Structure 1
């Protein structure tokens, strides 16, 4: 009778309500499959992997050039059924094999998927049988970087004669209180504007996203405006200090600044486009990151303590 492996799957247990992981966390899961009859296997192993990769093409006349690059973060292999000189014979029925990995404690970038690249974290299972094709399964999991940002204020000042106007000049002093923000949080922008020109001025605000992909000493950039807003008019020959709250949409992804081949950045542009404007670097954090920042100076031992108790396991990195 033909040996048949059915419903070969690999899964993991959620660590928190958002079903995300970070470096140092323990990922626990199980490999599950059914056997229709007795089966001899050579080995069963699970791999925990993290990598980034980019790929895009550019046209140079009739020539098409492909740019590609990869970055490997870790590959950890754990045998559930060890290879041996003897026979590993499994009986018919359902089989469940648990496993536990610790995600390496290193500066790992957050999961990401874009048009030209991705940062992936996966757990993969492989059942090897003699003279048979391997049974394979894979599950992706979301990893979020937990790194504090630089909370120092940013301030830009500019005094520029605006050629678009017939006469006069405009001076602006703009500042934001911090650089790191969560989804849904407001960016408080303070602007002191001295309008000595002959026309009214409406300050404009634009939050935009910048994706950068790197390969073979080339860079591909994609930008997208996230939101645009316009302030009240500042009368000519007048000065005002205005405050604007720019709310970060809840749909934006987190910033990625610690990957060599993919970067996700955000900028806040304030002022009059082309003639008078300047930029602030904005770091988009996760709610978990914001919580950890608020807890600085306190012990972290209580965070998910029941789920982060160190289990016993063996793993090898290759």
Structure 2
């Protein structure tokens, strides 16, 4: 038997080359309905909605438990055709569509197109994302209802990217620094040490992440610096956490001979298609880490981890951009005893007038970074520090470790009750 509704589909019009939408954008499109014969429509509607959800199962003995959670961001519905009983003749109700055109609920055979427009709510929402047991999705759903018939539906997803606001993430502009030294035992003797600096916490998709390292090899073996950028997907439901760790980028440096001190600079090119960080969703998180470690034969590898925030490459007009690194920041700063540690690094104020950088003016609405270029909504940085030449490592080094860089749990304590060591 030939179906009356041969096809129903939803198409939206892209507003940029990347086919992405952000908060406050308008999304326009069309519902296309193809009919085989005359059809009386009770209602034809289009809905735009955004939500996050996670779902997974675990076995505990003979019992299987399902963990599920959902977070809703918005839901908006428009009726293109809607039955209004008691008005007009039977099957001749005229209803005004979104475009101002009047549509009849008795529709002739053929293909019919109905335009629509929504404005995405101007609020903070997480980026589109799909993981192993969770996702953040934004969809357009068309629904055609008829009397005594199953509804005909069509769904299409659109890609949502939040407008990056660097002032909302504490410490995103602060340089990161960590040190590690280790005494070798068993098959390797002596000590190794490293002093690592990176320019900041936040980077855009496709940007270069520069790592500055001062490495001391006072061991009996050749060692090799290695770099690993990886992402952590965390899903939360009913007090439980599911964690997936995925390597994104692996690189290694040149070998360093025994009894050698060496300054090394390595640029890691962040993939342009890497998923951005999601830190503003209560049921899932997308985090990134940079792990710098020394590959020591026949010994455990000393390592330092830094949190990294990946921002979308498409910079919306009017939003602040990441500033250039401090002038003179580089290998000359290695080994500086006054280099700020994680516990003493200044954090970026979140709101105007919230706090001050040491030696800086009060947080203004628009300010200048060194070099005179303006970044609206950005804080004023103090004068660039002048770092002394890196001192030579002593002939012998006692084992010890400086304060490690902070975890995402320390930066966002209210969001990471389930943080575990990884």
TM-score by length of 1: 0.85
What is the rounded CA distance, in whole Å, between the counterparts of 1:90 and 1:83 in structure 2? 11
What is the aligned counterpart of 2:225 among 199, 203, 208?
A: 203
Deviation at 1:285? 2.3
| 2:304 pairs with 1:287 | no
Note the residue ranges of structure 2 that are not aligned, 5 or more in a row. Answer: 94-104, 167-171, 323-373, 378-422
The answer to whether the 8 A contact 1:162-1:276 is kept is no
**What is the SS of the residue equivalent to 1:288?**
coil
Q: Provide the alpha-carbon RMSD of the alignment.
A: 2.5
What is the aligned counterpart of 1:224 among 236, 243, 246?
A: 246
- What CA deviation, in whole Å up to 9, does each residue of 1:69-99 have, x standing for no partner? 1111111111112341234332313321111
- What CA deviation, in whole Å up to 9, does each residue of 1:173-225 have, x standing for no partner? 10111222233322100011223333332111111121111111111111122
**Cross-structure match for 2:256:** 234
The answer to whether the 8 A contact 1:47-1:125 is kept is yes
What is the rounded CA distance, in whole Å, between the counterparts of 1:130 and 1:232 in structure 2? 73
**Cross-structure match for 1:310:** none
**What is the SS of the residue equivalent to 1:196?**
strand
**Cross-structure match for 2:146:** 129
The answer to whether the 8 A contact 1:117-1:213 is kept is yes
What is the aligned counterpart of 1:278 among 304, 308, 317?
A: 304
Deviation at 1:227? 2.4
The answer to whether the 8 A contact 2:206-2:313 is kept is no
The answer to whether the 8 A contact 2:164-2:312 is kept is no
- Higher Cα Rg: structure 1 or 2? 2
**Cross-structure match for 2:17:** 17
| 2:270 pairs with 1:248 | yes
Higher RCO (CA 8 Å, separation ≥ 6 residues): 1
**Cross-structure match for 1:309:** none
The answer to whether the 8 A contact 1:257-1:263 is kept is yes
- What CA deviation, in whole Å up to 9, does each residue of 1:245-275 have, x standing for no partner? 1122234222211111121111110022644
What is the rounded CA distance, in whole Å, between the counterparts of 1:264 and 1:180 in structure 2? 14
**What is the SS of the residue equivalent to 2:315?**
helix
